[in-house]
Amino acid sequence: MSKTDSPDPGSKVPADLELVLSDDSTTTLGDYAGKWLVLYFYPKDHTPGCTTEGRDFDALLPEFQALGAEILGISRDSAKTHSNFRAKQGFRFELVADREETVCNAFGVIAEKNMYGRKVMGIVRSTFLIDPRGVVAHRWQPVKVPGHAQAVLDELKARQQS
């Protein structure tokens, strides 16, 4: 996947992009204007890497919130699956159900992957740090889970100090 498929740092995100939350309510990216926003895209609920990534972000959530940042995890799973995943893991941040891949396509995170020798289209684990003006401040793509949530927090701290 080429990085030109995803919004580059400095790009404005689509404020009217609708987000379906785990309780089936909806919001938009524009509703987060004025706050820092971490959007992390992950392949599937209830899988080892995605569980670890979510736990890592949840463990650091108070630090993100102290810096005025919200976290949203996004995958193609349903709101019901997200609700169960959040409850089982005790995640305190929202998960976005992107069944139609609208958000995934807007951020260019769908690509061909090799799964057990088969070619499939799936989410490339990716994270976007969006500033209070709705502009991509930093992009991580692809993401390796160990240490990633801390790296995002460190980048947020560095951005706020500059």
Active site residues: 50
| Residue bearing tokens 């889970």 | 145
CB distance 126 to 139 below 8 Å: yes
54-57 CB contacts, 8 Å cutoff, 24+ apart:
54/85, 54/89, 54/91, 55/89, 56/145, 56/148, 56/149, 56/150, 57/91, 57/93, 57/149, 57/152
DSSP helix/strand/coil, 67: coil
Task: Report the alpha-carbon distance of residue 162 to residue 157 in Å, rounded.
Answer: 9
Task: Report the alpha-carbon distance of residue 110 to residue 101 in Å, rounded.
Answer: 8
Task: Report the alpha-carbon distance of residue 162 to residue 148 in Å, rounded.
Answer: 21
